[in-house]
Amino acid sequence: MRILNLLIIFVFLFGCSNNESSKPEAAPKPKKKRPVSVELGKFFDVDGKKMLYGGEDESNHFDITGYELKDDQFHYGIGREKFPALLEPNFTSIQDADSFWVDSSRFLVAYSGDEVKAYSVKDLTRHEVVNDVLNGEPIMAVYCILADLGGIYERTYGDDVLTFALSGYTYYDEQVWDGLDGFILWDRETESLWWPLIDRAVSGPLQGVKLLEMNKAHWEDTTWGDLKKKYPQAAILKTGQDFERPESWTKIKDVSQIVEKFSAQ
């Protein structure tokens, strides 16, 4: 019996020390999981119009009649005012912001004339859209973490200026960006939906109108370290901003000139 007990103890101790010292083989990377699929109830008909859920307030639903996407490729659907897509962003100086960032922190930087504005990707991950003005011209900085899509876009369409925000949805197509999910935006002036992965509006009055990416000679994707060296005068987006969502806004009554001039086709 004593010999048997000693054998059991030996096996136990050997097994423990072996587990501690050995390194398991690297497990294969799991396949990328899709985000939460949209419930069928997010799509419904009202007086012959196809609608998409936009939030608890019924006035926030989107009219997507005749839209070009597929119902089963939408994800999430958390409501269109959940993300704080900024309307009047506040900025600070590089000197004041320097304690918040390390040199490797990623930023989108836009410049025109003597004005330079910078938006950290970390902050953009929270806002996803920052409506802004650069050297007198309306622009927006955007970033989608799912597709790692970041860019600076113009907001002026002829005589009109659009204000963008998050719809609360993402969308994917196996033929676009290797099937990655990308956020869907909407504009307050026409309530059209826009899918930046294909650079155009996909529903609403502006369906088929292109997103206007700012000339790449005037913006870049860089780091805090390079930003400090190249643009010491830059205005830096303040961290942690939020705002009271507007209850109403001015709508564009006639979009025919926008559609005619800015169609992606």
Q: Does some domain include residue 58? A: no
Sequential pLDDT tens for the chain (265 residues): 434 343 333 333 333 333 333 323 344 434 456 777 777 679 999 999 999 999 999 999 999 999 999 999 999 999 999 999 999 999 999 999 999 999 999 999 999 999 999 999 999 999 999 999 999 999 999 999 999 999 999 999 999 999 999 999 999 999 999 999 999 999 999 999 999 999 999 999 999 999 999 999 999 999 999 999 999 999 999 999 999 999 889 999 999 999 999 998 7
Q: Confirm whether 107 is domain-assigned.
A: yes
Domain tally, the chain: 1
The vertex-177 CA angle with 172 and 180, nearest 5°, equals 45
Indicate whether 173 belongs to any domain.
Answer: yes
**φ and ψ at residue 181, rounded to 5 degrees:** -75, 145
Dihedral (Cα; 190, 192, 195, 199), 10-degree rounding = -50
Q: Is residue 25 part of a domain?
A: no
167: in domain: yes
Paired tokens of 185: 């935006």
Smallest Cα–Cα separation from 215: which of 137, 152, 263? 152
Residues pairing with 194 in the sheet: 185, 201
Locus of tokens 């007990």: 5
The answer to the question of residue 113 being in a domain is yes
Length of the chain: 265
For the chain, the maximum distance between any two Cα atoms, rounded to a whole number of angstroms, is: 95
Q: What is the extent of the structural domain holding 178?
A: 78-262
Q: Is position 32 within any domain?
A: no
Whether 222 is covered by a domain: the verdict is: yes
- Report the C-alpha gap between 182 and 78 in whole angstroms: 15
Q: How far is CA 2 from CA 5, 9, 60, 259, in A?
A: 5, 11, 77, 90
**Closest to 259 (Cα-Cα) out of 195, 190, 198, 184:** 190
